[in-house]
Amino acid sequence: MPRMTMIEAIRSAIDVSMERDDNVVVFGEDVGYFGGVFRCTQGLQRKYGRTRCFDTPISELGIVGAAIGMAAYGLRPCVEVQFADYVYPAYDQLVSEAARIRYRSNGQFTCPMVVRMPAGGGIFGGQTHSQSPEALFTHVCGLKVAVPSNPYDAKGLLIAAIEDPDPVIFLEPKRLYNGPFDGHHDRPVTPWSKHDLGEVPEGHFTVPLGSAAVRREGKDLTVLAYGTMVHVAQAAAEEVGIDAEIIDLRTLLPLDLEAIVASVKKTGRCVVVHEATLTSGFGAELAALVQEHCFFHLEAPIARVTGWDTPYPHAQEWDYFPGPKRVGEALLATMEA
Amino acid sequence: MSTSEYGPLSLHVPEPAVRPGDTPDFSNVVIPKAGSVARPPIDVDPREIRDLAFSIIRVLNREGEAVGPWAGTLSDEELNEGLRHMMTLRAFDARMLMAQRQGKTSFYMQHMGEEAVSCAFRKALAPGDMNFPTYRQAGLLIAGGYPIVDMMNQIYSNEADPLKGRQLPIMYSSKEHGFFSISGNLGTQFIQAVGWAMASAIKNDSKIAVGWIGDGSTAESDFHAALVFASTYRAPVVLNIVNNQWAISTFQGIARGGSGTFAARALGFGIPALRVDGNDYPAVHAVAMWAAQRARRNLGPTLIEHVTYRVGAHSTSDDPSAYRPKEETEAWPLGDPVIRLKNHLIRKGIWSEERHRQLEAEILETVIGAQKEAEKHGTLHSGGKPSVRDMFEGVYAEMPPHLRRQRQQAGV
């Protein structure tokens, strides 16, 4: 099976989708001729022509609003917002429009579209290239939210998202584009070509939205993670010698509650980790669900390890980022609680 | 799909005239002769100067002479100083680019080719005026006398960084120097400049505001919001579009669309619009003075399009050879702002090649001196750093309990 980086897997997902369905169109800032600042759409304009893959003016509102109009016509836009940190001008279009068009028109109009955006930190990108805004979207009824942690899932989830009848926010952890970064910023990252999940089929396949994956089976406690933190949690569990069961949520909405509940009932302990800030983060939703469904199985309080409640700093990146040390400490504390 | 007697529809997607491998072609950029554009009185009815939105105000001609009605706003000393500022910015950029390549910082954005825009504009402002800059106007700081060692401290995110390591390199902030905190998000600050100017008017103050935006970012809604507010409330603001032809890989035609020029965007709002040769230091200064005077005399906003060219990469994360011909830089018809001002001063008989070389060496020495000084305070990955405590400060005026708990948890 071919090996792909996450960038190549995303490109392949879009390519496969454009090949299969003429209605799939791709646009965004720098995505046409240049192929995107992370090169996720490289070669697609050449292959499919300028009316199916093109550059847009710098207007995220314009990109998302136009995509909604196209989706209403019957196309399946898969658009790129250059960094998740730049999506806010499009927020009204997503919250008040994309998310509600099916509901308010009683299905006369729908919005089958994907908004891809690189998210997360770890690249010294400061406040404008590091944010993890997933909770701003999971809070909006009508949007789906996916966050892949590896090339295989990135491709399978993206194809599923493009084929989905509803709008999907697709957050790509940019620190994972080239390898499974585990938070050890002082060590080289293993390239995806040397990782099992860098094996990606060439053709069409999907990873259904709403299915989590168990990345590591364990009996001591359950770690709920997504994106970059899946790899950080794996490293942390190994380093502190805890037999953690690590669940990669893959999609936050719809959420695979069954997988979460089954695991926490088995282990009796739960640690939630995400890069995004703590207060009103997606971890709060996870903790609430776990206590609702597993309260009588819990042997320790549910712990959260997250980014601190500050804007994403530049110089203090590694003090901010919830790396393996902080995650490991939370695992130990949860075992001892 | 339905059919029509007119045949099928098709989508228009603009493309630049040339791409890598092609011969550069700027024949579509119409360059009026220096001195040929009229200089209207500042209380002119905007409807009478609509043509200025489609022309280019230029002062320096090919022979290095300053000609026409826009010439003569600067003394010899001021012109000399302008040259020094532009050369300082260029030397500063070169050193900081190198520092980024050496891993001393994470990121850098240079001004090559655009030095005249911010350096000359700054000289039209008065103490107390406020700029809302983008990431390519460091000339406002240099020409405003901000210490370059502080700029470097910010770039290095070191222990002396005035912004405590919180912001991406080059996203400076200096209230004292009339330089509003750069966001890094595009276009957001254009409307804030209008709001600041409205505040000055509400308080019957005398200060004016200056907004800055790139050609690409005029597509953001913030740009349009800025124009409508500025127009409605006749805000004392100068709104600058720096048209450097490229928004990363995207040529300016994508943001401009069918409109003849970016300056012409102002016409529908009844805002006077000027286009200026952004590589012509005296022309930028003259146009800035005109617009600033209008604002100061309560005559309302002015939109200026600075026509220039981004010679370097968008940032240290960009490689322009992937999307435009390498030779395009040489072919750019408005030349290099430093060389043009130098030639003008030589033509005036107040400068020479030898003095130019001396000044270059002197500036380099100053910049290297500042760099050594800054590096004593550390660089991004070595030496003195802002404290981790600083990361938790300043989110609110007073730290709320939850953040206090988190800081404690972080052990700092």
What's the confidence (pLDDT) of residue B258? 85
Q: Among all residues of chain A, which has the CA nearest to that of B165?
A: A315
Instruction: Report CB contact under 8 Å: A279, B402.
Output: yes
Instruction: Report CB contact under 8 Å: A314, B187.
Output: no
Instruction: Report CB contact under 8 Å: B166, A311.
Output: yes
> Does residue B152 carry a pLDDT above 90?
yes
Instruction: Report CB contact under 8 Å: B13, A278.
Output: no
Q: Among all residues of chain B, which has the CA nearest to that of A322?
A: B410
Give yes or no for A74 touching B (CB within 8 A): no
Instruction: Report CB contact under 8 Å: B167, A316.
Output: no
* Token pair 């953040």 in the structure block, residue: B403
Closest CA–CA distance from residue A48 to any residue of chain B (Å)? 14
Give yes or no for A50 touching B (CB within 8 A): yes
Report which of A135, A134, A131, A115 is spatially closest to residue A123, judged by C-alpha positions: A131
> Does residue B1 carry a pLDDT above 80?
no
What's the confidence (pLDDT) of residue B274? 98
b/e code A158-172 from CB counts within 10 Å (16+ = b): bbbbbbbebbbbbbb
Instruction: Look up A204 and say whether it is catalytic.
Output: no
Contacts of B403 in chain A (CB under 8 A): 308-310
| Residues A24/A78, Cβ–Cβ less than 8 Å | yes
Domain boundaries in chain A? 6-198, 213-336
Mean pLDDT of B184-193: 96
Q: How many helices (H) and strands (E) does chain A have?
A: 12, 12
Return residues 1-40 of A near B (CB < 8 Å): 29-30, 32-34, 37
Instruction: Report CB contact under 8 Å: A127, B166.
Output: yes
Closest CA–CA distance from residue B317 to any residue of chain A (Å)? 9
Instruction: Report CB contact under 8 Å: A61, B220.
Output: yes
**How many whole angstroms separate alpha carbon B132 and alpha carbon B242?**
13
Whether A6-198 shares its CATH topology with A213-336 is answered: yes
Query: pLDDT, tens digit, for every residue of B213-266?
Result: 999 999 999 999 999 999 999 999 999 999 999 999 999 999 999 888 999 999
Give yes or no for A313 touching B (CB within 8 A): yes
Closest CA–CA distance from residue A328 to any residue of chain B (Å)? 14
- Tally A–B CB contacts below 8 A: 131
Give yes or no for A196 touching B (CB within 8 A): no
Contacts of B183 in chain A (CB under 8 A): 128
Query: pLDDT, tens digit, for every residue of B320-351?
Result: 999 999 999 999 999 999 999 999 999 999 99
**How many whole angstroms separate alpha carbon A186 and alpha carbon A182?**
11
Closest CA–CA distance from residue A34 to any residue of chain B (Å)? 6
Task: Give the list of residues 6+ apart from residue A210 with CB closer than 8 angstroms, or none.
Answer: A251, A254, A255, A256
Return residues 107-146 of A near B (CB < 8 Å): 124-129
- Kindly provide the ipTM of the predicted complex, given to two decimals: 0.92
Helix (H) or strand (E) holding B148: helix B148-156
What's the confidence (pLDDT) of residue B27? 86
Contacts of A33 in chain B (CB under 8 A): 15, 19, 249, 323
From first to last of its 337 residues, what are the pLDDT tens digits of chain A? 899 999 999 999 999 999 999 999 999 999 999 999 999 999 999 999 999 999 999 999 999 999 999 999 999 999 999 999 999 999 999 999 999 999 999 999 999 999 999 999 999 999 999 999 999 999 999 999 999 999 999 999 999 999 999 999 999 999 999 999 999 999 999 999 999 999 999 999 999 999 999 999 999 999 999 999 999 999 999 999 999 999 999 999 999 999 999 999 999 999 999 999 999 999 999 999 999 999 999 999 999 999 999 999 999 999 999 999 999 999 999 999 8
Query: pLDDT, tens digit, for every residue of B343-379?
Result: 999 999 999 999 999 999 999 999 999 999 999 999 9
Phi (first) and psi of residue B245, to 5 degrees: 80, -25
* Token pair 């989590």 in the structure block, residue: A212
CATH code at A6-198: 3.40.50.970
- Best residue in A23, A55, A185, A326 for a mutation probing chain B (most B CBs within 10 Å): A55
Contacts of B168 in chain A (CB under 8 A): 125-129, 314
Q: Among all residues of chain B, which has the CA nearest to that of A60?
A: B220
Q: How would you classify the pairing of strands A251-253 and A144-146? A: antiparallel
**How many whole angstroms separate alpha carbon B282 and alpha carbon B116?**
9
Contacts of B386 in chain A (CB under 8 A): 315-316
Contacts of B248 in chain A (CB under 8 A): 29-30, 34, 37
Looking at chain B, the whole-number percentage of residues with pLDDT higher than 90 is 96
- Among A30, A128, A308, the residue with its CB nearest the CB of B248 is A30
What's the confidence (pLDDT) of residue A277? 98
Which two structure tokens, joined as six digits, stand for B226? 């800025």
Assign B107 to helix, strand or coil. coil
User: Would the pTM count as exceeding 0.90?
Assistant: yes
- Listed in sequence order, the DSSP H helices in B348-400 are 353-376, 388-392
Angle at B409 between CA A221 and CA A327, to 5 degrees: 30
From its phi and psi, is residue A139 left (phi > 0), alpha (psi between -120 and 50) or beta? Answer: alpha
Contacts of B323 in chain A (CB under 8 A): 33-34
What's the confidence (pLDDT) of residue B198? 97
Instruction: Report CB contact under 8 Å: B107, A313.
Output: no
DSSP state, A3? B
Query: pLDDT, tens digit, for every residue of B15-63?
Result: 998 999 999 988 888 899 999 999 999 999 999 999 999 999 999 999 9
Contacts of A88 in chain B (CB under 8 A): 185
CATH code at B46-381: 3.40.50.970
* Torsion angle defined by CA atoms of residues A276, A279, A280 and A286, in that order, rounded to the nearest 10 degrees: 70
Instruction: Report CB contact under 8 Å: A29, B247.
Output: yes
Closest CA–CA distance from residue B377 to any residue of chain A (Å)? 13
- Among A85, A129, A310, the residue with its CB nearest the CB of B391 is A310
Instruction: Report CB contact under 8 Å: A58, B255.
Output: yes
Q: 3-state SS of B68-88?
A: CCCCCCCCHHHHHHHHHHHHH
**Which CATH architecture is the domain A213-336 placed in?**
3-Layer(aba) Sandwich (3.40)
Instruction: Report CB contact under 8 Å: B249, A55.
Output: yes
Start-end ranges of CATH 3.40.50.970 in chain B?
Answer: 46-381
